[in-house]
């Protein structure tokens, strides 16, 4: 699909229109318009400095765009702070793990699950607490960390820590899960396990990933968007992207 052809937004969960992020005279994102359809995995790829992390930071409220719109479920959320973005059912993992390292696996996930419940009230403390614990344990089981719930996050392997970060995101009950380099630093076995986990997750919600491993991208994504120097270069299916001469020129051959 040509970068000039704006994809149909019918069924889109997220749509950006003219998204621009400038740092002084540098345009990290320049007039990026793309659509993320509901369900499945959508990957954003591109060389270092292409604007991938900046796009994630704008989408999740870390950065306020210089211009443009970010429409989620029909609502423009551009410029909202991270806590407000989270309330729109958008969750994110980071390139560097962001865990409560001195807390257990269960405590990490429980805190995230509790953030989705109503303000605390003393008369419902006991019942609400156990509901949150049950929810946290269900998420831990779903990501394959059952049996590790009392382990400290700091004692987990690198791959397990990345899995825990996904569990924390899932505990907030998102409709969009943004994963920034989810397999970075993993062994081949850990990468395979993470790919299978993402594939399972994508059966229930929408997953947006930034990833450098092209085997992971092409094996997971239904749609791939390519950024280059902050601009939209191409978007389409994995097969279309692999055959696109512009993408081959600037990225896939390097």
DSSP 172-235: T--SEEEEESTTTT--HHHHHHHHHHHHHHTTTSEEEEE-S-HHHHHHH-SEEEEEETTEEEEE
Please calculate the CA angle 220-35-81 and round it to the nearest 5 degrees: 100
- How far apart, in whole angstroms, are the C-alpha atoms of residue 110 and residue 84? 20
Instruction: Please state the domain count of the chain.
Output: 2
Question: What is the pLDDT at residue 6?
Answer: 37
Q: Kindly state whether residues 76 and 2 are assigned to the same domain.
A: yes
Q: Kindly state whether residues 3 and 45 are assigned to the same domain.
A: yes
Q: Give the DSSP H or E segment for 71.
A: strand 67-72
Question: Which domain CATH number covers 235?
Answer: 3.40.50.300
Q: Kindly state whether residues 138 and 249 are assigned to the same domain.
A: no
pLDDT, block means (10 residues), the chain with 254 residues = 41 92 94 94 92 94 96 93 90 74 91 70 57 91 93 93 93 92 90 93 92 92 95 95 90 64
Q: Kindly state whether residues 74 and 184 are assigned to the same domain.
A: yes
- How far apart, in whole angstroms, are the C-alpha atoms of residue 2 and residue 246? 10
Question: What is the pLDDT at residue 23?
Answer: 93
Question: What is the pLDDT at residue 209?
Answer: 95
What residues make up the domain containing 144?
97-173
Q: Kindly state whether residues 23 and 61 are assigned to the same domain.
A: yes
Question: What is the pLDDT at residue 12?
Answer: 87
Q: Kindly state whether residues 109 and 214 are assigned to the same domain.
A: no
Question: What is the pLDDT at residue 21?
Answer: 97
């Amino acid at each position: 699909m040509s970068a000039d052809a704006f994809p149909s937004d019918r069924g889109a969960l997220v749509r950006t229109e003219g998204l621009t992020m400038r740092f002084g005279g540098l345009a990290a994102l320049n007039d990026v318009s793309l659509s993320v359809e509901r369900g499945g995995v959508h990957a954003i790829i591109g060389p270092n400095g292409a604007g991938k992390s900046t796009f994630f930071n704008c989408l999740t409220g870390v950065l306020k765009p210089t211009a443009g719109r970010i429409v989620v479920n029909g609502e423009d959320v551009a410029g909202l702070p991270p806590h407000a973005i989270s309330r729109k059912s958008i969750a994110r993992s980071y390139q560097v793990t962001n865990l409560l390292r001195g807390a257990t696996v269960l405590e990490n996930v429980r805190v995230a699950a509790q953030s989705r419940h109503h303000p605390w009230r003393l008369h419902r403390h006991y019942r609400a607490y156990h509901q949150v614990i049950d929810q946290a344990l269900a998420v831990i089981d779903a990501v394959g960390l059952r049996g590790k719930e009392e382990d400290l996050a700091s004692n987990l392997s690198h791959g397990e820590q990345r899995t825990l970060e996904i569990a924390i995101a899932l505990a907030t009950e998102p409709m969009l899960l943004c994963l920034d380099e989810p397999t970075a630093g993993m062994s081949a076995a850990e990468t395979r396990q993470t790919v299978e986990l993402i594939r399972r997750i994508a059966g229930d919600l929408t997953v947006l990933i930034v990833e450098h491993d092209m085997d992971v991208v092409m094996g997971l994504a239904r749609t791939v968007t390519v950024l280059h120097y902050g601009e939209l270069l191409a978007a389409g299916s994995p097969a279309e992207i692999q055959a696109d001469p512009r993408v081959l020129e600037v990225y896939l051959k390097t």
